[in-house]
Chains A and B, each alone.
Chain A
Amino acid sequence: MNVLEPASIPIFLTIAALVMTVSVLLSRVSDKAGVPVFLLFLLLGVILGGRASRVTFENYRDCFVFGNVALALILFDGGLNTPFDRVREGIAPAAVLASLGVLGTAGLVALFAGLFGFSTAKACLLGVIVAPTDAAAVFSIVRSGGLQLKKRMAVILELESGLNDPMAVILTITLTESLVAGRGVAPAALLEIPLALAIGAIAGVVVGYGGRWLLAHAQLPAGGLYPVLTLSVAFFAFGLSEIAKGSGFLSAYVAAVTIGNGPMPYRGGILRVHDSAAWLCQIAMYLLLGLLIVPAEMLKVAPAGIALGLVLAFVARPAIVALCLLPFGYKIREIGYLGWVGLRGAVPIVLATYPVLAGTEGAQVLFNIVFFIVVVNTLVPGATVRWATAWLGLGLAERSAPPALLDIVSTRILTGSEIVSFSVDSSTAGCGAAISDLPFPPESAAILLIRNQQLVAPRGSTVLAPGDHVYVLCRREDRPLVYLIFGKAESD
């Protein structure tokens, strides 16, 4: 089917719509089963591509191109939601994990891959490709178990996964190019890696601040235009850095952190659009990658793939994480946990298309093996992550807050107080209180109440009942008292 042919467009759209709907609905299955939803997308792709004898070079190229765009947007979305104090808290251990950790993990995997008959160069390439982790996979499983991971742990996993993608991308490209050229990796190429990361970081900060300025001064006529602006910032950050021979992924991530921590008009709307874009990218990317897979070819490398997957999960990741984190004074169980939950996502599979594209000899086998390593490293730790979180006492003793019922979005940057919403629970001090009894500071007020899905004006005599949602206007410095009265804010 040629998508560009006019008559085929309706057919293409119909099929795409059905596949996307099924994918979206699959997320509910994954929540129940405790399997990261992306494995289901991938599986759906494999099933759809059942008679995938039509896999051609073109498909790999499309996947690689789309994979890059998708990863940039997914990283950008992650960055937008990363508060700066978390970056400060976790940057040192995460940076070590994302640099030395990637090298170490790659090295150990390569060592074992050598036993399966891979040449040193190809074994190293394989190790590098499977090194990057996916924090979103961990969070989705932990959350679906009704648990929340302790902040200290979540911060590292999140930053690590944001930072190790750029590292792995650069290493994969460097190694592939040297393989194709049939020479060893020149020492100069290794020096280019820190340089590319530095350029990426600088480009990200510059574009991020530029984006902040633009958002604050644009005064756009329609709220819907703001997310278009931030999407362009994401692409610009990626593109500019790559043109300057820097890491586009790092640049996109850093730009997003810079923008996300600044004042932003239409914040809720922008975040929602990027969240959706990231989801859409995930679904499309995994489906495409699933289509690439030829089950018959796959099975030939199953033993080696599964064995190397187990090596990564049980030996390489835990050992390297332990070595990297020892200097930071983490508890043994924390190190053990971080070493165990190194779930893998799409990045290794996208990276594995690169050697195929570059025409590396034997790259197809590599791609197939990477697929198994990713699946094993998602299923094995994935199946146990809820249990490990609880057993090691690394879950928060809090349940996750319900989402807010009503979003109040500003199209200009407003300062002063903020609006925070709470779900009233019978265990909180505020439950059963009349509005006039709330010991708020003079600058704070309960401004809105949702009761039985109806908007209600809170009067002094209104008594807060369990199940109510109360919206409080308060200054940042008064938040602690308000939290004390109502517990955690919704969507916090």
Chain B
Amino acid sequence: MKITDILSPEMVVPDLRGNNKPAVIRELGTRLVSKHSEVDLEELVAVLLERERLGSTAIGDGIAIPHGKLRAVDRILGVFGRHAPGVDFESLDGKPTHLFFLLVAPEDSTSLHLKALARVSRLFKDAAFRDRLIATSDPVETYRLIKEEDAKY
């Protein structure tokens, strides 16, 4: 599985503004439904927040990977978001979160969902790469960087 299979160029939000968890999740979700009308925004937000209730998906180092399962989608979809000033996402290390990768999976594709989570979390392992993503405000450049980093594995 490649990141480019889940993330299309128009699914990059370079300027997240929300100042709390629900607001950021809504911003990312809004981008997703703009291209995928089969997804209901309210349902998506509810599913993602329900997962957050079981423990934050902000795994530290400024990264969060909000994710959930939805009946309405037929393949795994992703949205990348950049929050330049950083936002309190209740992260494991207590630091502000800057980079978001939202993942939505079909209800019956547990195995692929897990593979995507592992793939995305590995994508952000490199600190220099994370810094470049935080510094980049151009979505085209961001997409290119992600594609390039993902090709290394």
Residue A393 at the chain B interface, CB threshold 8 Å: yes
User: A397-B53, A428-B51 given as contacts; is B92 within 8 A of A437 (CB)?
Assistant: no
Chain B's closest residue to A438 (CB) is B114
Partner of B114, one of A151, A401, A430, A480: A430
| B55 contacts A398, C-beta separation under 8 Å | yes
Interface positions of B from 18 to 75, Cβ below 8 Å from A: 20-22, 47, 49-57, 59-60, 65, 67-69
Q: Chain B: interface residue count, which band?
A: 20 to 34
Residue A304 at the chain B interface, CB threshold 8 Å: no
| A483 contacts B114, C-beta separation under 8 Å | no
Chain A's closest residue to B65 (CB) is A484
| A398 contacts B110, C-beta separation under 8 Å | no
Residue A96 at the chain B interface, CB threshold 8 Å: no
The count of chain A contact residues (Cβ–Cβ below 8 Å) is 34
Residue A268 at the chain B interface, CB threshold 8 Å: no
Interface string of A454-492 (1 = CB under 8 A from B): 000000000000000000000000011101111111001
By secondary structure, the A interface counts as: loop
| Bound-state Cα–Cα, A152 to B88, Å | 10
| Bound-state Cα–Cα, A492 to B54, Å | 11
Residues of B within 8 A of A242 (CB): none
18 examples of A-B residue contacts, CB within 8 angstroms: A150-B90, A151-B94, A397-B22, A398-B53, A398-B54, A398-B90, A427-B50, A429-B113, A429-B114, A429-B117, A433-B114, A437-B111, A481-B117, A483-B55, A484-B57, A484-B67, A485-B114, A485-B117
* Nearest 6 interchain pairs by C-beta: A488-B55, A487-B54, A439-B118, A480-B59, A487-B55, A437-B111
Residues in chain B within 8 A of chain A (CB atoms): 20-22, 47, 49-57, 59-60, 65, 67-69, 90, 92, 94, 105, 110-111, 113-115, 117-118, 121
Interface string of A431-450 (1 = CB under 8 A from B): 11110011100000000000
Residues in chain A within 8 A of chain B (CB atoms): 85, 89, 150-152, 393, 396-399, 401, 425, 427-434, 437-439, 479-481, 483-489, 492
Residues of A within 8 A of B50 (CB): 427
| Bound-state Cα–Cα, A401 to B110, Å | 23
| A484 contacts B121, C-beta separation under 8 Å | yes
Instruction: Give chain B nearest CB distance to A249 CB in angstroms.
Output: 27
| A399 contacts B114, C-beta separation under 8 Å | no
Chain A's closest residue to B121 (CB) is A481
Partner of B52, one of A398, A433, A481: A398
User: A393-B20, A487-B54 given as contacts; is B118 within 8 A of A481 (CB)?
Assistant: yes
The total of interchain contacts (Cβ-Cβ below 8 angstroms) comes to: 84
Instruction: Give chain A nearest CB distance to B118 CB in angstroms.
Output: 4
Residues of A within 8 A of B55 (CB): 398, 401, 483, 486-489, 492
Additional pairs, 16, CB under 8 Å, beyond known A393-B20, A439-B114, A480-B92:
A85-B94, A397-B22, A397-B56, A398-B52, A399-B53, A401-B55, A429-B67, A430-B114, A431-B110, A438-B114, A439-B118, A481-B59, A485-B117, A487-B54, A489-B55, A492-B55
Residues of B within 8 A of A429 (CB): 67, 69, 105, 110, 113-114, 117
Instruction: Give chain B nearest CB distance to A482 CB in angstroms.
Output: 10
Chain A's closest residue to B60 (CB) is A480
| B49 contacts A433, C-beta separation under 8 Å | no
| Bound-state Cα–Cα, A481 to B65, Å | 10
Residues of A within 8 A of B22 (CB): 397
Partner of B90, one of A396, A432, A485, A489: A396
| A433 contacts B111, C-beta separation under 8 Å | yes
Residues of B within 8 A of A151 (CB): 90, 94
Instruction: Give chain B nearest CB distance to A277 CB in angstroms.
Output: 30
Residues of A within 8 A of B68 (CB): 427
Kindly name the residue among A151, A432, A439, A484 whose own CB sees the greatest number of chain B CB atoms within 10 A.
A484
User: A484-B59, A484-B65 given as contacts; is B52 within 8 A of A397 (CB)?
Assistant: yes
| Bound-state Cα–Cα, A150 to B88, Å | 10
| B111 contacts A484, C-beta separation under 8 Å | no
| Bound-state Cα–Cα, A449 to B90, Å | 29
Partner of A483, one of B20, B59, B110: B59
Kindly name the residue among B21, B52, B54 whose own CB sees the greatest number of chain A CB atoms within 10 A.
B54
User: A393-B20, A439-B115, A485-B114 given as contacts; is B94 within 8 A of A398 (CB)?
Assistant: no
Partner of A397, one of B59, B90, B92: B90
| Bound-state Cα–Cα, A439 to B67, Å | 16
| Bound-state Cα–Cα, A433 to B116, Å | 14
Residues of B within 8 A of A489 (CB): 55
Instruction: Give chain A nearest CB distance to B112 CB in angstroms.
Output: 9
| Bound-state Cα–Cα, A429 to B57, Å | 11
| B21 contacts A397, C-beta separation under 8 Å | yes
| Bound-state Cα–Cα, A150 to B111, Å | 33
Partner of B94, one of A152, A431, A433, A434: A152
Residues of B within 8 A of A431 (CB): 110
Partner of B121, one of A425, A428, A480, A492: A480
| A427 contacts B54, C-beta separation under 8 Å | yes
| Bound-state Cα–Cα, A445 to B115, Å | 16
| A437 contacts B110, C-beta separation under 8 Å | yes
| Bound-state Cα–Cα, A487 to B65, Å | 12
| A483 contacts B92, C-beta separation under 8 Å | yes
| Bound-state Cα–Cα, A489 to B69, Å | 21
| Bound-state Cα–Cα, A151 to B55, Å | 13
| A399 contacts B54, C-beta separation under 8 Å | yes
